[in-house]
Amino acid sequence: MNKIRVVVAGPRGKMGSEALKMIERQDDLELVACLDHKFEGRKINEVADFTSLDAIIFTDIQDCLDNVQADVLIDLTTPEYGYLHTKTAIENGVRPVVGTTGFTEDQLDELTELSEEKGIGVIIAPNFALGAVLMMQFAKWAAKYFPDVEIIEKHHDNKLDAPSGTAVKTAQLIKEVREPKKQGHPEEKETIEGARGADVDGMRIHSMRLPGLVAHQEVVFGAKGENLTIKHDSFHRESFMTGVKLAVDQVMKLDLLVYGLENILE
């Protein structure tokens, strides 16, 4: 069996460490290198106690891809480096599976074009939890019948980007079926700026950041005399790993960029 050769960027992070544990459990994946912002040249098991994998750490993606044979890059870093890593991987013929959130629309467009030009598969998924993907699909369905909707996302307080990638993706999916509509009182005024949340075509996104949270979202629909709430909770980051493994397998068969796990689920 030919194993899929994987590089993980952000291996010591909350998600990256789960990704390494996931790779260690799989017979068909091989960790060939890690990308970190420190510990150049060390082995990952020398600097992290949660893994016995002994892949070498690089601090520069081009150096890494020049020196190891890789099929897939799993990126779980920051918006700035995630974008640089994804672009460099595509340019080097390595298929990115990207969990990092916070890319701009322009960056997504640019990466889509580049992947098409190079014929390299890319999967960018703002949420790898299967329950979250279903929550987004259910929300899109509900929005056809309930155009008044607010999204409340709740995450741990180390998160860099707001709103979450999941909330942005949910709003995009809802936009596909909902006419733009200003919600609330036509003359409502915020007496404290931001009170009504971010505005996407008149639907509101509220972002909560608190210690103790992992990743949670409620999509609340309102109509006369009734409310519908669609809710998903990730209590542990292991919840994302089924989706990461699925994406690694599927990206090997793609020659373009796919944004959202729903596009590769059967």
Ligand X SMILES: O=C(O)C1=N[C@H](C(=O)O)CCC1
**Binding window for ligand NAD (CB under 6 A); candidates: 119-127, 136-144, 177-185, 221-229:** 119-127
What is the contact mask toward ligand NAD in residues 70 to 109, using x (rule: CB under 6 A)? ------xxx--x-----------------xxxx-------
The answer to the question of residue 166 lying near ligand X (CB under 6 A) is: yes
* Catalytic site positions: 155, 159
The only residue of 83, 103, 128, 146 in contact with ligand NAD, by rule CB under 6 A: 128
Our CB check for ligand NAD shows the closer of 108 and 228 to be 108
Instruction: Quote the distance between the C-alpha of residue 24 and its chain's center.
Output: 21
Say how far apart CA 75 and CA 94 lie, in whole Å: 12
Say how far apart CA 38 and CA 58 lie, in whole Å: 8
> What residue 155 binds from ligand X, ligand NAD, none (CB within 5 to 8 A, per partner kind)?
ligand X
User: Could you tell me if 234 and 216 are in contact, meaning their C-beta atoms sit under 8 angstroms apart?
Assistant: yes
Partners of residue 203 on adjacent β-strands: 200
Say how far apart CA 259 and CA 139 lie, in whole Å: 17
The only residue of 165, 171, 207, 245 in contact with ligand X, by rule CB under 6 A: 165
Phi, psi of 212 (to 5 degrees): 95, -25
Burial class (CB in 10 A: 0-12, 13-18, 19+), 83: buried
Binding site residues for NADP(+), as ranges?
A: 38
Question: Given the rule CB under 6 A, which residues bind ligand NAD?
Answer: 9-10, 12-16, 35-37, 76-78, 81, 99-102, 125-128, 158, 240
Binding-site residues, please? 10-15, 38, 99-101, 125-128, 156, 165-166
